[in-house]
């Protein structure tokens, strides 16, 4: 009998520090769901990362469970993907500490996300905020993945992770696999509706479409979306001069599968008054089955618990093999 080649491993996580939004879905999760047959996928709720900023405990628990329900509703089948909660797999924290000791102070102080977050949280610049990339490297390396799907904003962290791999392997031999950043071509880069020059973000809720949002609220945000001062109100793809309209066209293309040229033709002479509600309606219909399925799943807490328990068991099994190897290499006595 022919031996099957093992699938390449892919891993990613999103912090449950707020509700998932259209940018998370179109830019990441939608693509994750399509990879289950090609890769051995691990996806987690990065709850340990959220506490670099103070969280309301009950809200964090609620959002973690809601995020799991939304992952499944977006098409991440728990039978085909390993879905787990980061804090349920103790190896993340353990390897995170080890990697702290193999990461240089200068490397961490050059991280642009640390500088940005420190500027925004000047009253709480804690050690976790500074060493966050070491925990992120541990998240990745425990599963020896081939690819890590990341947005441009996380590319620097993956580069640091690769530096850590190089340093550790040069001392102890071939311990970690070198992960490659996987920047999907198809993932739409979704910008904010109120500030189209910035990525859609839960920190600017008026320009952000949340997956669980009511249809009427989604439509209201699209009707108020920033377009441009062009008196012709012409629907044309021009990211430099018409960033708002171009963003709406990208969103419409991502949810309908239509090309930008076809969209220009569809709304020729129609103006923004027709175009913006049409984009809103297309998004509402795309998100409706996700919202309804997530709401249904949240009524079945026992099922969600069974998913995250079995996910943590499988993740722990894989992670423990890596951690044991690391502990042996650095000289810790076996347990």
Catalytic residues: 117, 199, 202
Are 138 and 92 a contacting pair, CB within 8 Å? yes
Containing 10, the helix (H) or strand (E) segment is strand 8-14
Distance, CA of 124 to CA of 130 (rounded, Å): 11
> If we measure between CA atoms, which residue out of 90, 91, 82, 51 comes closest to residue 327?
91
Residue listed under structure tokens 């970690």: 176
Measured between alpha carbons, how far is 277 from 216 in angstroms, rounded to an integer? Answer: 11
The answer to whether the CB of 142 falls within 8 A of the CB of 322 is yes
- 41: which strand partners? 10, 81
First to last CA, the chain: 39
Place of tokens 């998004």: 283
| Closest CA relative to residue 160, chosen from 141, 142, 184 | 141
How big is the chain, counted in residues?
335
Q: What does each C-alpha distance from 38 to 6, 31, 81, 122, 290 come to in angstroms?
A: 10, 12, 11, 43, 23
């Amino acid at each position: 009998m022919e031996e099957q080649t093992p699938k390449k491993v892919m891993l990613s996580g999103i912090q449950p520090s707020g509700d998932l939004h259209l940018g998370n879905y179109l830019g990441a999760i939608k693509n994750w769901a399509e990879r289950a047959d090609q890769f051995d996928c691990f996806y987690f709720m990065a709850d340990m990362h959220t506490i670099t900023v103070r969280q309301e405990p009950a809200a964090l628990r609620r959002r973690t469970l809601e995020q799991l329900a939304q992952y499944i509703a977006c098409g991440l089948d728990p039978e085909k993907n390993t879905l787990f909660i980061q804090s349920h797999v103790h190896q993340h924290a353990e390897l995170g500490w080890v990697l702290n000791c193999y990461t240089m102070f200068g490397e961490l102080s050059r991280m642009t996300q640390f500088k940005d977050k420190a500027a925004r949280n000047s009253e709480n610049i804690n050690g976790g905020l500074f060493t966050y990339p070491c925990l992120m490297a541990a998240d990745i390396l425990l599963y020896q993945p081939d690819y890590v799907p990341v947005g441009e904003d996380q590319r620097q962290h993956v580069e640091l992770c690769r530096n850590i791999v190089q340093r550790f392997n040069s001392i102890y031999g071939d311990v970690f696999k070198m992960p490659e950043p996987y920047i999907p071509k198809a993932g739409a880069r979704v910008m904010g509706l109120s500030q189209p020059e910035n990525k859609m973000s839960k920190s600017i809720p008026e320009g952000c479409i949340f997956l669980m949002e009511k249809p009427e609220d989604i439509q209201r945000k699209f009707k108020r979306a920033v377009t441009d001062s062009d008196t012709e109100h012409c629907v044309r793809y021009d990211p430099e001069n018409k960033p708002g309209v171009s963003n709406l066209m990208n969103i419409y293309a991502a949810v309908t599968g239509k090309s930008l040229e076809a969209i220009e033709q569809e709304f020729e002479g129609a103006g923004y008054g027709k175009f913006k509600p049409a984009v809103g309606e297309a998004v509402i219909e795309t998100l409706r089955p996700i919202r309804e399925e997530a709401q249904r799943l949240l009524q079945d807490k026992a099922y969600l618990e069974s998913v995250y328990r079995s996910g943590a068991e499988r993740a722990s099994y894989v992670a423990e093999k890596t951690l044991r190897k690391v502990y042996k290499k650095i000289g810790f006595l076996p347990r």
